[in-house]
Chains A and B, each alone.
Chain A
Amino acid sequence: MACQEYQELISDYIDGTLELGEEARIERHLADCDGCRAVRDDLLQIVHFSRQLPLHTPSSEVWTQLQTKIAAERPTHFGSRVAAWVSRLKNLELNLSVPQLAASAAALLIIFSVALIISRQSAETPSASSLAGRSGTAGMNLLSNAEDQEIEEKIERLRESVEQRRVTWSPELQVAYDRSIRQVDQCLATCRQQLSGDPSDQVSKDLMRDAYLEKQRLLEGFTKF
Protein backbone atom coordinates (compact mmCIF):
# COMPACT_ATOMS: atom_id res chain seq x y z
CA MET A 1 0.00 0.00 0.00
CA ALA A 2 1.28 3.43 -0.86
CA CYS A 3 1.64 6.20 1.71
CA GLN A 4 -1.39 7.93 0.29
CA GLU A 5 -3.54 4.91 1.03
CA TYR A 6 -2.15 4.57 4.53
CA GLN A 7 -2.81 8.22 5.24
CA GLU A 8 -6.47 7.84 4.32
CA LEU A 9 -6.73 5.39 7.21
CA ILE A 10 -4.99 7.52 9.78
CA SER A 11 -8.16 9.18 11.08
CA ASP A 12 -9.83 5.84 11.64
CA TYR A 13 -6.64 4.64 13.27
CA ILE A 14 -6.57 7.57 15.68
CA ASP A 15 -10.26 7.08 16.48
CA GLY A 16 -9.78 3.38 17.08
CA THR A 17 -12.24 2.25 14.44
CA LEU A 18 -9.91 0.11 12.38
CA GLU A 19 -10.04 -3.67 12.37
CA LEU A 20 -7.26 -5.22 14.42
CA GLY A 21 -5.50 -6.51 11.36
CA GLU A 22 -5.53 -3.13 9.65
CA GLU A 23 -4.37 -1.45 12.81
CA ALA A 24 -1.35 -3.70 13.05
CA ARG A 25 -0.48 -3.08 9.43
CA ILE A 26 -0.65 0.67 9.81
CA GLU A 27 1.48 0.58 12.92
CA ARG A 28 4.15 -1.35 11.11
CA HIS A 29 4.11 1.25 8.37
CA LEU A 30 4.21 4.14 10.79
CA ALA A 31 7.25 2.67 12.47
CA ASP A 32 9.13 3.03 9.21
CA CYS A 33 7.64 6.13 7.65
CA ASP A 34 8.48 9.60 8.92
CA GLY A 35 6.02 11.26 6.61
CA CYS A 36 3.00 9.25 7.71
CA ARG A 37 4.03 9.52 11.31
CA ALA A 38 4.11 13.31 10.89
CA VAL A 39 0.56 13.20 9.59
CA ARG A 40 -0.56 11.03 12.51
CA ASP A 41 1.08 13.31 15.06
CA ASP A 42 -0.44 16.41 13.50
CA LEU A 43 -3.90 14.93 13.38
CA LEU A 44 -3.58 13.81 16.99
CA GLN A 45 -2.79 17.36 17.95
CA ILE A 46 -5.72 18.74 15.99
CA VAL A 47 -8.09 16.30 17.64
CA HIS A 48 -6.64 16.94 21.07
CA PHE A 49 -6.93 20.70 20.88
CA SER A 50 -10.33 20.61 19.28
CA ARG A 51 -11.64 19.01 22.42
CA GLN A 52 -10.40 21.99 24.39
CA LEU A 53 -11.76 24.84 22.36
CA PRO A 54 -13.08 27.59 24.60
CA LEU A 55 -16.74 28.26 25.03
CA HIS A 56 -17.85 31.60 23.71
CA THR A 57 -20.43 33.75 25.38
CA PRO A 58 -23.31 35.27 23.48
CA SER A 59 -24.12 38.89 24.18
CA SER A 60 -26.76 39.74 26.75
CA GLU A 61 -28.92 40.93 23.85
CA VAL A 62 -29.73 37.32 23.09
CA TRP A 63 -31.42 36.88 26.44
CA THR A 64 -33.27 40.17 26.36
CA GLN A 65 -34.58 39.47 22.88
CA LEU A 66 -35.48 35.95 23.86
CA GLN A 67 -37.46 37.20 26.82
CA THR A 68 -39.30 39.56 24.56
CA LYS A 69 -40.21 36.76 22.20
CA ILE A 70 -41.31 34.55 25.03
CA ALA A 71 -43.39 37.33 26.49
CA ALA A 72 -45.03 37.67 23.11
CA GLU A 73 -46.06 34.04 23.26
CA ARG A 74 -47.50 34.27 26.72
CA PRO A 75 -51.15 35.12 27.02
CA THR A 76 -50.68 38.22 29.18
CA HIS A 77 -52.26 41.47 28.15
CA PHE A 78 -49.44 43.93 28.60
CA GLY A 79 -46.51 41.65 28.13
CA SER A 80 -47.43 40.55 24.64
CA ARG A 81 -48.17 44.04 23.38
CA VAL A 82 -45.05 45.68 24.57
CA ALA A 83 -43.01 42.62 23.71
CA ALA A 84 -44.42 42.46 20.19
CA TRP A 85 -43.54 46.07 19.63
CA VAL A 86 -40.05 45.62 21.01
CA SER A 87 -39.36 42.57 18.89
CA ARG A 88 -40.65 44.33 15.81
CA LEU A 89 -38.42 47.26 16.61
CA LYS A 90 -35.49 44.96 17.07
CA ASN A 91 -36.06 43.18 13.80
CA LEU A 92 -36.15 46.45 11.95
CA GLU A 93 -32.94 47.85 13.29
CA LEU A 94 -30.90 44.68 13.28
CA ASN A 95 -28.75 45.79 10.42
CA LEU A 96 -28.30 49.43 11.07
CA SER A 97 -26.12 49.94 14.05
CA VAL A 98 -22.56 49.36 12.96
CA PRO A 99 -20.96 50.06 16.32
CA GLN A 100 -23.53 47.81 17.94
CA LEU A 101 -22.71 44.96 15.58
CA ALA A 102 -19.03 45.52 15.99
CA ALA A 103 -19.47 45.26 19.71
CA SER A 104 -21.54 42.13 19.64
CA ALA A 105 -19.20 40.21 17.39
CA ALA A 106 -16.49 38.96 19.66
CA ALA A 107 -13.13 37.53 18.86
CA LEU A 108 -15.15 35.20 16.66
CA LEU A 109 -15.76 38.00 14.20
CA ILE A 110 -12.07 38.50 13.79
CA ILE A 111 -11.58 34.79 13.36
CA PHE A 112 -14.37 34.46 10.85
CA SER A 113 -13.47 37.53 8.87
CA VAL A 114 -10.29 35.80 7.82
CA ALA A 115 -12.15 32.83 6.43
CA LEU A 116 -13.02 33.00 2.72
CA ILE A 117 -16.29 31.21 3.18
CA ILE A 118 -17.45 33.61 5.82
CA SER A 119 -16.92 36.60 3.66
CA ARG A 120 -19.31 35.02 1.17
CA GLN A 121 -22.04 34.63 3.72
CA SER A 122 -23.71 37.97 4.08
CA ALA A 123 -25.39 38.96 7.28
CA GLU A 124 -29.16 39.06 7.22
CA THR A 125 -29.98 42.01 5.08
CA PRO A 126 -33.37 43.56 5.54
CA SER A 127 -35.54 42.61 2.64
CA ALA A 128 -37.16 45.55 0.99
CA SER A 129 -40.49 44.09 2.02
CA SER A 130 -39.72 44.33 5.71
CA LEU A 131 -39.26 48.04 5.31
CA ALA A 132 -41.96 48.52 2.74
CA GLY A 133 -45.14 49.78 4.27
CA ARG A 134 -43.08 52.18 6.35
CA SER A 135 -42.53 55.66 5.08
CA GLY A 136 -41.04 55.51 1.66
CA THR A 137 -37.51 56.52 2.57
CA ALA A 138 -35.18 53.57 2.69
CA GLY A 139 -35.03 52.56 6.31
CA MET A 140 -33.58 55.70 7.82
CA ASN A 141 -36.66 57.16 9.46
CA LEU A 142 -37.57 54.17 11.53
CA LEU A 143 -38.63 56.03 14.61
CA SER A 144 -40.96 58.46 12.98
CA ASN A 145 -43.33 60.42 15.13
CA ALA A 146 -46.19 58.04 14.48
CA GLU A 147 -44.21 55.12 15.81
CA ASP A 148 -42.96 57.13 18.74
CA GLN A 149 -46.54 57.66 19.75
CA GLU A 150 -47.44 54.02 19.38
CA ILE A 151 -44.49 52.98 21.55
CA GLU A 152 -45.32 55.52 24.15
CA GLU A 153 -48.93 54.43 24.25
CA LYS A 154 -47.89 50.88 24.97
CA ILE A 155 -45.46 51.78 27.68
CA GLU A 156 -48.08 54.09 29.09
CA ARG A 157 -50.47 51.20 29.54
CA LEU A 158 -47.78 49.31 31.41
CA ARG A 159 -47.13 52.34 33.48
CA GLU A 160 -50.78 52.73 34.37
CA SER A 161 -50.81 49.24 35.74
CA VAL A 162 -47.78 49.99 37.91
CA GLU A 163 -49.20 53.30 39.09
CA GLN A 164 -52.25 51.49 40.38
CA ARG A 165 -50.02 49.40 42.60
CA ARG A 166 -47.80 52.28 43.60
CA VAL A 167 -50.14 53.49 46.31
CA THR A 168 -49.68 50.25 48.20
CA TRP A 169 -45.93 50.64 48.40
CA SER A 170 -43.84 52.21 51.09
CA PRO A 171 -42.87 55.86 50.54
CA GLU A 172 -39.26 54.82 50.04
CA LEU A 173 -40.17 52.60 47.15
CA GLN A 174 -42.49 55.15 45.66
CA VAL A 175 -39.75 57.73 45.67
CA ALA A 176 -37.25 55.34 44.13
CA TYR A 177 -39.72 54.53 41.39
CA ASP A 178 -40.56 58.17 40.71
CA ARG A 179 -36.91 59.12 40.51
CA SER A 180 -36.10 56.24 38.21
CA ILE A 181 -38.95 56.94 35.84
CA ARG A 182 -38.05 60.59 35.75
CA GLN A 183 -34.48 59.69 34.97
CA VAL A 184 -35.39 57.44 32.07
CA ASP A 185 -37.82 60.01 30.71
CA GLN A 186 -35.10 62.60 30.82
CA CYS A 187 -32.83 60.30 28.83
CA LEU A 188 -35.57 59.75 26.27
CA ALA A 189 -36.09 63.49 26.00
CA THR A 190 -32.38 64.09 25.43
CA CYS A 191 -32.31 61.43 22.72
CA ARG A 192 -35.33 62.92 21.02
CA GLN A 193 -33.76 66.35 21.19
CA GLN A 194 -30.59 65.09 19.53
CA LEU A 195 -32.60 63.32 16.88
CA SER A 196 -34.64 66.36 16.03
CA GLY A 197 -31.37 68.19 15.43
CA ASP A 198 -30.06 65.35 13.27
CA PRO A 199 -32.59 62.71 12.21
CA SER A 200 -29.89 60.49 10.76
CA ASP A 201 -28.03 60.23 14.05
CA GLN A 202 -27.92 56.46 14.39
CA VAL A 203 -26.30 56.50 17.79
CA SER A 204 -29.08 58.59 19.28
CA LYS A 205 -31.61 56.33 17.63
CA ASP A 206 -30.04 53.26 19.22
CA LEU A 207 -29.77 54.98 22.55
CA MET A 208 -33.41 55.94 22.38
CA ARG A 209 -34.42 52.39 21.61
CA ASP A 210 -32.33 51.16 24.54
CA ALA A 211 -33.86 53.80 26.77
CA TYR A 212 -37.31 52.50 25.88
CA LEU A 213 -36.14 49.02 26.80
CA GLU A 214 -34.83 50.35 30.06
CA LYS A 215 -38.18 51.97 30.75
CA GLN A 216 -39.82 48.66 30.06
CA ARG A 217 -37.39 46.91 32.41
CA LEU A 218 -38.12 49.49 35.03
CA LEU A 219 -41.87 49.11 34.74
CA GLU A 220 -41.74 45.35 34.64
CA GLY A 221 -39.42 45.36 37.65
CA PHE A 222 -41.81 47.43 39.70
CA THR A 223 -44.80 45.40 38.55
CA LYS A 224 -43.61 42.77 40.99
CA PHE A 225 -44.27 45.00 43.96
Chain B
Amino acid sequence: MACLRQTLEMTVTAQSSQTMTDLELVRAAASGDAVAFERIYEQHRRRVYSLCARMLGNVEQAEDLTQEVFLQVYRKIGSFRGDSAFTTWLHRLAVNQVLMHFRKRGVKLEHTSEEGDFTNVVETPLQSTRRISMVDRLALERAIAQLPPGYRTVFLLHDVEGYEHEEISSTLGVSVGTSKSQLHKARMRLRELLSKTTSNAGE
Protein backbone atom coordinates (compact mmCIF):
# COMPACT_ATOMS: atom_id res chain seq x y z
CA MET B 1 0.00 0.00 0.00
CA ALA B 2 1.30 3.48 -0.77
CA CYS B 3 2.32 5.64 2.14
CA LEU B 4 0.33 8.61 3.30
CA ARG B 5 2.08 11.90 3.40
CA GLN B 6 0.77 12.97 6.74
CA THR B 7 2.60 14.68 9.50
CA LEU B 8 1.87 13.38 12.89
CA GLU B 9 1.98 15.21 16.16
CA MET B 10 1.57 13.11 19.19
CA THR B 11 1.82 14.14 22.76
CA VAL B 12 3.58 11.46 24.69
CA THR B 13 2.24 10.99 28.14
CA ALA B 14 3.22 8.48 30.76
CA GLN B 15 1.59 5.22 29.79
CA SER B 16 1.41 1.65 30.93
CA SER B 17 3.02 -0.81 28.57
CA GLN B 18 -0.38 -1.81 27.22
CA THR B 19 -1.27 1.70 26.10
CA MET B 20 2.30 2.07 24.88
CA THR B 21 1.50 -0.65 22.40
CA ASP B 22 -1.71 1.08 21.30
CA LEU B 23 0.08 4.37 20.94
CA GLU B 24 2.85 2.82 18.87
CA LEU B 25 0.35 1.19 16.60
CA VAL B 26 -1.64 4.39 16.28
CA ARG B 27 1.47 6.37 15.56
CA ALA B 28 2.47 3.88 12.91
CA ALA B 29 -0.98 3.77 11.37
CA ALA B 30 -1.22 7.55 11.30
CA SER B 31 2.01 7.75 9.37
CA GLY B 32 0.71 5.38 6.73
CA ASP B 33 1.71 1.98 8.02
CA ALA B 34 -0.92 -0.24 6.46
CA VAL B 35 0.03 -3.22 8.58
CA ALA B 36 -0.44 -1.20 11.75
CA PHE B 37 -3.87 -0.04 10.61
CA GLU B 38 -4.82 -3.61 9.83
CA ARG B 39 -3.74 -4.61 13.31
CA ILE B 40 -5.85 -1.88 14.84
CA TYR B 41 -8.80 -3.13 12.83
CA GLU B 42 -8.22 -6.71 13.92
CA GLN B 43 -7.85 -5.77 17.57
CA HIS B 44 -10.98 -3.67 17.77
CA ARG B 45 -13.32 -4.90 15.08
CA ARG B 46 -15.23 -7.29 17.27
CA ARG B 47 -16.02 -4.81 19.97
CA VAL B 48 -17.13 -2.18 17.46
CA TYR B 49 -19.16 -4.66 15.45
CA SER B 50 -20.83 -6.18 18.50
CA LEU B 51 -21.80 -2.74 19.73
CA CYS B 52 -23.25 -1.74 16.35
CA ALA B 53 -25.02 -5.05 15.88
CA ARG B 54 -26.70 -4.91 19.27
CA MET B 55 -27.60 -1.25 18.95
CA LEU B 56 -29.04 -1.59 15.48
CA GLY B 57 -30.42 -5.08 15.74
CA ASN B 58 -29.49 -5.65 12.15
CA VAL B 59 -26.43 -7.52 10.94
CA GLU B 60 -26.11 -5.92 7.53
CA GLN B 61 -26.39 -2.38 8.84
CA ALA B 62 -23.97 -3.24 11.61
CA GLU B 63 -21.38 -4.36 9.08
CA ASP B 64 -21.87 -1.17 7.08
CA LEU B 65 -21.56 0.90 10.19
CA THR B 66 -18.46 -0.99 11.34
CA GLN B 67 -16.89 -0.16 8.02
CA GLU B 68 -17.89 3.46 8.43
CA VAL B 69 -16.40 3.61 11.91
CA PHE B 70 -13.04 2.30 10.75
CA LEU B 71 -13.10 4.58 7.76
CA GLN B 72 -13.46 7.43 10.24
CA VAL B 73 -10.61 5.97 12.25
CA TYR B 74 -8.51 5.98 9.12
CA ARG B 75 -9.36 9.59 8.38
CA LYS B 76 -9.01 10.89 11.91
CA ILE B 77 -6.27 8.81 13.39
CA GLY B 78 -3.78 11.59 12.84
CA SER B 79 -5.71 13.72 15.29
CA PHE B 80 -5.64 11.24 18.14
CA ARG B 81 -3.65 12.97 20.82
CA GLY B 82 -3.20 10.13 23.26
CA ASP B 83 -4.82 12.05 26.07
CA SER B 84 -7.32 9.25 26.52
CA ALA B 85 -6.99 5.56 25.88
CA PHE B 86 -7.31 4.71 22.22
CA THR B 87 -10.11 2.29 22.98
CA THR B 88 -12.09 5.10 24.59
CA TRP B 89 -11.57 7.34 21.57
CA LEU B 90 -12.53 4.59 19.17
CA HIS B 91 -15.54 3.67 21.20
CA ARG B 92 -16.88 7.19 21.29
CA LEU B 93 -16.47 7.32 17.55
CA ALA B 94 -18.49 4.13 17.20
CA VAL B 95 -21.27 5.30 19.50
CA ASN B 96 -21.48 8.60 17.63
CA GLN B 97 -21.78 6.77 14.34
CA VAL B 98 -24.63 4.71 15.73
CA LEU B 99 -26.42 7.77 17.01
CA MET B 100 -25.97 9.52 13.69
CA HIS B 101 -27.40 6.48 12.01
CA PHE B 102 -30.42 6.62 14.29
CA ARG B 103 -30.88 10.32 13.59
CA LYS B 104 -30.74 9.76 9.87
CA ARG B 105 -33.46 7.20 10.12
CA GLY B 106 -35.56 9.24 12.45
CA VAL B 107 -35.29 6.59 15.14
CA LYS B 108 -36.54 8.13 18.33
CA LEU B 109 -34.57 7.36 21.42
CA GLU B 110 -36.83 9.32 23.73
CA HIS B 111 -39.19 6.83 25.17
CA THR B 112 -42.38 8.06 26.68
CA SER B 113 -44.87 5.68 28.19
CA GLU B 114 -46.72 3.85 25.46
CA GLU B 115 -48.38 0.57 24.85
CA GLY B 116 -46.15 -2.22 26.01
CA ASP B 117 -44.91 -0.10 28.87
CA PHE B 118 -45.82 -2.30 31.76
CA THR B 119 -47.60 -0.75 34.67
CA ASN B 120 -47.81 -3.72 36.92
CA VAL B 121 -44.45 -4.29 38.48
CA VAL B 122 -45.61 -5.66 41.75
CA GLU B 123 -44.58 -9.23 42.36
CA THR B 124 -46.80 -11.47 44.38
CA PRO B 125 -45.12 -14.07 46.58
CA LEU B 126 -46.36 -16.76 44.18
CA GLN B 127 -44.59 -15.25 41.20
CA SER B 128 -41.43 -14.75 43.17
CA THR B 129 -40.59 -18.43 42.91
CA ARG B 130 -40.27 -18.04 39.13
CA ARG B 131 -36.70 -17.35 38.18
CA ILE B 132 -35.26 -16.17 34.91
CA SER B 133 -32.91 -18.63 33.33
CA MET B 134 -29.72 -16.88 32.37
CA VAL B 135 -27.86 -19.93 31.18
CA ASP B 136 -29.21 -19.15 27.73
CA ARG B 137 -27.17 -16.19 26.48
CA LEU B 138 -29.01 -16.39 23.22
CA ALA B 139 -32.23 -15.58 25.06
CA LEU B 140 -30.62 -12.52 26.59
CA GLU B 141 -29.39 -11.30 23.20
CA ARG B 142 -32.83 -11.88 21.75
CA ALA B 143 -34.46 -10.02 24.57
CA ILE B 144 -32.08 -7.08 24.19
CA ALA B 145 -32.97 -6.95 20.51
CA GLN B 146 -36.61 -6.64 21.44
CA LEU B 147 -36.16 -3.56 23.57
CA PRO B 148 -37.35 -0.26 22.14
CA PRO B 149 -34.37 1.69 20.74
CA GLY B 150 -34.21 4.18 23.61
CA TYR B 151 -34.14 1.55 26.35
CA ARG B 152 -31.79 -0.60 24.34
CA THR B 153 -29.28 2.16 23.75
CA VAL B 154 -29.06 3.15 27.39
CA PHE B 155 -28.95 -0.47 28.51
CA LEU B 156 -26.18 -1.37 26.06
CA LEU B 157 -24.12 1.67 26.94
CA HIS B 158 -24.45 1.15 30.69
CA ASP B 159 -24.62 -2.58 31.29
CA VAL B 160 -22.77 -3.94 28.28
CA GLU B 161 -20.31 -1.20 27.45
CA GLY B 162 -19.81 0.09 30.96
CA TYR B 163 -20.57 3.77 30.50
CA GLU B 164 -21.56 5.83 33.53
CA HIS B 165 -24.82 7.76 33.59
CA GLU B 166 -23.00 11.08 33.32
CA GLU B 167 -21.38 10.02 30.09
CA ILE B 168 -24.59 8.51 28.73
CA SER B 169 -26.48 11.68 29.52
CA SER B 170 -23.97 13.90 27.71
CA THR B 171 -23.67 11.50 24.76
CA LEU B 172 -27.40 11.14 24.26
CA GLY B 173 -28.34 14.64 25.30
CA VAL B 174 -30.67 13.58 28.09
CA SER B 175 -30.64 14.23 31.80
CA VAL B 176 -28.93 11.85 34.18
CA GLY B 177 -32.33 11.15 35.71
CA THR B 178 -33.70 10.10 32.33
CA SER B 179 -30.71 7.86 31.76
CA LYS B 180 -31.24 6.15 35.10
CA SER B 181 -34.94 5.62 34.60
CA GLN B 182 -34.48 4.34 31.04
CA LEU B 183 -31.93 1.88 32.34
CA HIS B 184 -34.26 0.63 34.99
CA LYS B 185 -37.13 0.27 32.56
CA ALA B 186 -34.87 -1.58 30.14
CA ARG B 187 -33.83 -4.03 32.83
CA MET B 188 -37.39 -4.58 33.96
CA ARG B 189 -38.52 -5.14 30.41
CA LEU B 190 -35.72 -7.65 29.89
CA ARG B 191 -36.80 -9.41 33.02
CA GLU B 192 -40.29 -9.63 31.66
CA LEU B 193 -39.12 -10.91 28.29
CA LEU B 194 -36.81 -13.44 29.84
CA SER B 195 -39.39 -14.82 32.18
CA LYS B 196 -41.63 -15.45 29.19
CA THR B 197 -38.77 -17.35 27.58
CA THR B 198 -38.31 -19.72 30.46
CA SER B 199 -41.97 -20.55 30.50
CA ASN B 200 -41.85 -21.26 26.75
CA ALA B 201 -39.71 -24.32 26.98
CA GLY B 202 -38.11 -25.66 23.83
CA GLU B 203 -38.09 -22.34 21.96
- Chain A contacts to B: CB under 8 angstroms: 2-4, 7-8, 10-12, 17, 34-39, 41-43, 45-59, 61-63, 65-66, 69-71, 73-76, 79, 94, 101, 104-109, 111-112, 114-118, 121, 123-124
- Chain B contacts to A: CB under 8 angstroms: 1-2, 4, 38, 41, 45-47, 49-50, 53-54, 56-64, 66-67, 70-71, 74-75, 121-125, 127-132, 134, 137-138, 140-142, 144-149, 155, 159-160, 162, 165, 180-181, 183-184, 187-188, 190-191, 194-195
Task: Find out whether the CB atom of B148 lies under 8 angstroms from the CB atom of A117.
Answer: yes
Nearest 9 pairs of A and B residues by beta carbon:
A35-B123, A11-B184, A38-B128, A115-B145, A55-B46, A105-B59, A58-B49, A50-B159, A115-B146
Task: Find out whether the CB atom of A49 lies under 8 angstroms from the CB atom of B59.
Answer: no
Given A4-B122, A46-B134, A62-B49, decide whether A116 and B146 contact each other with a Cβ distance below 8 A.
yes
Chain B interface SS verdict (over half): helix
Task: Find out whether the CB atom of A117 lies under 8 angstroms from the CB atom of B145.
Answer: yes
In the complex, which residues of chain A have a beta carbon less than 8 angstroms from the beta carbon of B165? 17
Bound form: Cα–Cα A154–B38 in Å: 26
Bound form: Cα–Cα A112–B143 in Å: 9
In the complex, which residues of chain A have a beta carbon less than 8 angstroms from the beta carbon of B58? 112, 118, 121, 123
In the complex, which residues of chain B have a beta carbon less than 8 angstroms from the beta carbon of A112? 57-59, 142, 145
User: A62-B66, A111-B142 known; 8 other A-B pairs, CB under 8 Å?
Assistant: A4-B121, A35-B123, A53-B140, A61-B63, A108-B53, A114-B145, A121-B58, A123-B61
CB-nearest residue of chain B to A55: B46
Identify A36's interface contact among B123, B134, B148, B149, CB under 8 A: B123
Among A8, A17, A47, A108, find the residue whose CB has the most chain B CB atoms closer than 10 A.
Answer: A108
